[in-house]
Amino acid sequence: MTTAAHITRTALNLFYRHGFHASGVDLLSQEAGVTKRTLYRHFPTKDALIAAALDLRHEQFMSGMQAFVESAPAQQRPLAYIEFIARWAASHDFHGCAFINAAAEFSQATAAPHMQAARHKSEVQGYLMTLCETAAVQNPELISMQLFLIGEGVIVSSQVNGFNSAVGEAALETAKTLLKVRPRRAPSGA
């Protein structure tokens, strides 16, 4: 692993556990086991390090989500998304969503971390839309948005209150109801 990659991983862990503003450059360099000079050689500003850490988290999240979801049959993938979110929220190292945290700490919509968070959430929504289309869900735009909102609710609820299996079960039941009620029928003669 390169020094820059090591610094980025260390920073992501600190930002995720303690927050972006609370994780200062002294702590970041100390935890990464590098001097501040080395840190600044690889990342000229803390903002550049935040951007790299969020890029890394985006890659980690998307690949983990896709691996889990795509292990299910195509028809079950929209529901597998909710299962993935519930399992993640129940994990011992869950500290909320790094992108929700970034949007909260950098609340101006024009702040770079806020914009990265918006892009991440948009990509997740787009992925859900594709899952719904592939599963032949009727009105995939609406259903994918509803599934996205259910997942976001599980994330925030679990971050604020700690994971409660009842929340995960309720999310799954709600998603099952949405998906059961609106199956798309194949056109006659198809």
pTM: predicted TM-score of the whole model, two decimal places:
0.90
d(CA 64, CA 47): 26
CATH architecture of 56-181: Orthogonal Bundle (1.10)
Check residue 180 and give its pLDDT: 82
In the chain, where the domains are located: 56-181
Nearest one of 59, 47, 56, 176 to 123, comparing CA atoms: 59
Q: Please give the backbone phi and psi of residue 183, each rounded to the nearest 5 degrees, phi first.
A: -70, 140
CB 122 within 8 A of CB 129: no
Distance (Å, rounded) from C-alpha 147 to C-alpha 178? 8
| The pLDDT value given to residue 184 | 46
Q: Quick one: which of 171, 187, 185 has its CA closest to 78? A: 171
Average pLDDT by consecutive 10-residue portion of the chain (190 residues)? 96 96 95 96 96 98 98 96 96 95 97 98 98 95 97 96 92 92 48
Task: Report CA 84 to chain centroid distance, whole Å.
Answer: 11
Residue with tokens 């299996």: 165
**Hey, what are 53's tokens?**
């850490």
